[in-house]
Chains A and B, each alone.
Chain A
Amino acid sequence: MDLLDKYKKTWNNQPEEAHKLSKVEIYKMAHSKSTSIVKWIFIIGMLEFLTIIPFLFMETDTKHFEEMNILWLRKALDTISCAIVAFFVIKFYLNYKSISSLDNTKTLMDKIVKTRRTVRNYIFTGLSFFAIAILVMAFSSINNQFINETPIFKIGIIAIFIFIGAIFLGLFWLFYQLLYGILLKKLNKNYKELAKLDELN
């Protein structure tokens, strides 16, 4: 460690910062707005909750459910949606509140990743509801508008619905990956590095 010892001495002898901050400057900084990842996760998370809510409570297509005589399913889905949104919002908020820079680095990162996962699970739940709605619409169409068509035509209709739904979901997923990919690039890299260390021993 000879070489590093020499540098360590240099390190210890390094002069104090030339541009020291005064108490007033520190005060101003302490009271400015944070731009930490955690804050961004909170803001984006809340936006995501708000974006999905109108989709969950869409009233326009109840006729599909009526036509198929499954209005009870629609009502059940509505109630479940309400409960799910409430559950995720509470969970997200509790996770967010538990994040503290007083924790050790690993725990802090665990909590940040967990908070993000809560929103991800929420989004996937929202998308599953969307997929169910698409399927209901597809089956409702072949049972009403296209009831006299050939089976191949009906399969084709379902395929088109699934295809459109998949494209929509795919784009949504891509956007989501990109958003968090950029935001958490650095954190994920550091998180993996610490996690890898645990696997080695």
Chain B
Amino acid sequence: MQKDLESKFLSDFEKNQNIVHKICRMYTTDQHAHKDLFQEITIQLWKYYSKFRGDAKFSTWMYRVALNTAISLYRKSTRIVKTQDISSVAYKISSVDYDDTEELQLKQLYRAIHRLSDIEKALIFLYLEDKPYKEISETLGISSVNARVKMNRAKEKLKKILNP
């Protein structure tokens, strides 16, 4: 039973791990911290996997546990990334077909996100992932109205950073 659960967890997680990588990229600025946070998220996901009944999508459930870990459980605080650190932002993204302009834009985006607060990061992440307000408010535990208000502010702040 435990073995079945474990192998299902491993294959579910392996398939969806990109979500966690994206969250780690938002909340950390170097490879070591990325791995550290990834590990803590993995521990939390496995700890509660038996409670995941499949009534929600695995990825939806993953968003919640991963963001909770980044916001509340992970101890090391993020450091604001300096200009010279840009190269380290999207440090592990590399693809031959990937457009140069897009790569630059992505780096700019991550750099801007690093300057947001932890809560704003979560909001922007859920916005970029196209999550409905209902899910955003349920994930963070705030009302839909508050989620909207805070989201608009976070978006404005992000826009200002991207285009001062």
Contact B18 A16 (CB under 8 A): yes
Contact B141 A107 (CB under 8 A): yes
Q: Mark A90-110, 1 if CB is under 8 A from B, else 0.
A: 000000000011111111110
Contact indicator A186/B75 (Cβ below 8 Å): yes
Report the bound CA distance from A139 to B18 in whole Å. Answer: 68
How far apart are the CA atoms of A70 and B21 in the complex, in Å?
65
Q: Indicate whether B81 reaches chain A with its CB closer than 8 angstroms.
A: no
Contact of B14 among A1, A15, A19, A26 (CB under 8 A): A26
Whether A201 sits at the interface, judged by CB under 8 Å, is yes
| Contact (Cβ within 8 A) A183 B75 | yes
Does A14 belong to the interface (CB within 8 Å)? yes
Q: Which residues on A sit within 8 Å (CB–CB) of B119?
A: 190, 193-194
Asked whether, in the complex, the Cβ of B71 is within 8 Å of the Cβ of A197, the reply is no
CB < 8 Å: which of B93, B127, B162 contacts A17? B93
- Whether the pair B14, A197 counts as a contact (CB closer than 8 A) is no
Tell me the bound Cα distance from A104 to B140 in angstroms: 5
A34 to B42, CA, bound (A): 10
CB-CB < 8 A to B98: which residues of A?
A: 15
Q: A23-B10, A23-B14 are known contacts. Are A201 and B143 too (CB-CB below 8 A)?
A: yes
Q: Which of B11, B72, B75, B149 has the most CB of A within 10 A?
A: B72
* CB pair B138 A104 closer than 8 Å: yes
Pairwise interchain contact B141-A106, C-beta atoms closer than 8 A: yes
Can you name the residue of chain A whose Cβ is closest to the Cβ of B93?
A: A15
Q: Which of A14, A38, A193 contacts B73 (CB 8 A)?
A: A38
| One of B40, B77, B141, B143 near A36 (C-beta < 8 A) | B40
A105 near B141 (CB under 8 angstroms)?
Answer: yes
Residue in B13, B109, B149, B155 whose CB lies within 8 Å of A11: B109
CB distance from A198 to the nearest CB of B (A): 7
The answer to the question of B88 belonging to the interface, with a C-beta cut-off of 8 Å to chain A, is: no
- Interchain CB contact (< 8 A) of B95 among A12, A15, A36, A108: A15
Per-residue A-contact encoding for B139-158, CB less than 8 Å = 1, 0 else: 11111011001100001001
Asked if B9 contacts A30 (CB within 8 A), the reply is yes
A40 on the B face (CB < 8 A): yes
Which residues of the other chain, A, contact B74 by a CB distance below 8 angstroms?
36-37, 186
Which B residues are closer than 8 A to A by beta carbons?
6, 9-11, 13-14, 17-18, 21-22, 36, 38-40, 42-48, 51, 61, 64-65, 67-69, 71-75, 77, 90, 92-95, 98, 102, 105-106, 108-109, 117-119, 122, 127-128, 130, 138-143, 145-146, 149-150, 155, 158-159, 162-163
Listed by A's residue number, 22 A-B pairs whose Cβ atoms lie within 8 Å are A3-B159, A4-B158, A10-B102, A11-B106, A13-B102, A20-B18, A30-B43, A32-B43, A34-B43, A35-B40, A36-B43, A36-B74, A36-B75, A37-B73, A102-B51, A102-B64, A109-B71, A112-B72, A194-B141, A197-B149, A198-B143, A201-B146
